Amino acid sequence: MTTGQWPAGEKKMKIQVEAIESNKNSDFKSIDYKICLPLSGDTQVVKILSENEMKELLDDISIVLGYKSIMEKFNCTIEDAKDIKREIDRSSCRDCDLRMKECYRCCIVCESPLEKDLLKALVRNEISVELQMRINKDGTISHFPEEIEASKILTIPDFYVETENKKICIYTDGHTYHERTEYQAVRDRSIDRDLQNLGYIVLRYTSSEIRQKLEDVIHDIKKTMGIEKPNDDTENKIDEVLDEGTCIRCGSKIPYNMNRPLCDDCYQTWVQFGNIDYTERFCHKCGREFDNSISYRKPLCKNCS
């Protein structure tokens, strides 16, 4: 016998469900279900239901509780529908423009509030993204929610974006670069190098970047994808300088390339230490020296950007 909690109503009542053998057909044993619903004192209502009737009852309950529409929308289990319903009933979700559009990925697949924030921003910017794609050490991939073998997995990026000629793995790190332990830093650098050897581009964003500079993060992802268009008032400025640029780290003259604003030597050092977005010194375009405002992802000073 199993006992369940009545899911709705002003007064919560414990119901009992018991599986019993049916005697309707002596040649074939089937299972019926006895439901006991207590009313008050020792009074209770007892009902015997067939398996099909139980399924119809469950279907009716799912409709009343609002689970069925969620299950049909996202092709998910009733357990997932319960979790989604609980989340979207919260005040923070009630006015969400992605309500009943991205609820499954937001509530079930995302593993942290940071991932939820970035997912919604990516979708609102019409960036097609896959969550929790599994990349194996041999270069093969599998997709959520397929079963995985931990010993074969290289990494599971939070987000994966693919363009015609780029494969981009995006991570939302709960710690800043300076807060990372030595083990975390070494592990991340090792994973980044392995991914680069497999042809992936790696982007890592800290919690402060996602919470405080989400627009910049989206701009950076678009730029990496090659789809970010320059502002009208800067388009002519960027076209003026196409031949020569400045290495943002050492200041040497190099070809102007917003996707690689480092000379060969500095680039190799940058890759060696895990592609961390360190603060650099020189504007890639005008060559002037600045303090704490230039980085690989933002290689231009404010005047040139």
Rounded-to-integer distance, Cα 249 and Cα 148, Å: 41
Rounded-to-integer distance, Cα 244 and Cα 287, Å: 10
| Rounded percentage of the chain residues whose pLDDT exceeds 70 | 83
Pairwise pLDDT comparison (92 vs 127), residue with the higher score = 127
Residue for token pair 């409709």: 63
The mean per-residue pLDDT over the stretch 74-101 comes to: 89
- Reduced to 3 states (helix: H, G, I; strand: E, B; else coil), residue 96 is coil
The mean per-residue pLDDT over the stretch 68-76 comes to: 92
pLDDT-derived band at 169 (thresholds 50, 70, 90) equals very high
**244, 256 in Cβ contact below 8 A?**
yes
Long-range contacts of 197-202 (CB under 8 A, 24+ apart): 198/135, 198/139, 199/167, 200/135, 200/167, 200/168, 200/169, 201/166, 201/167, 201/168, 201/169, 202/168, 202/169, 202/171, 202/275
The mean per-residue pLDDT over the stretch 92-98 comes to: 86
pLDDT for 234 = 44
Identify the bridge partners of residue 22 per DSSP, sorted by sequence position. Answer: 30
C-alpha distance from residue 75 to each of 65, 116, 170 (Å): 17, 20, 26
Q: What is the pTM (predicted TM-score) of this model?
A: 0.62
C-alpha distance from residue 233 to each of 8, 215, 238 (Å): 58, 19, 10
Range from 151-155, 235-239, 262-266 that averages highest in pLDDT? 151-155
pLDDT-derived band at 232 (thresholds 50, 70, 90) equals very low
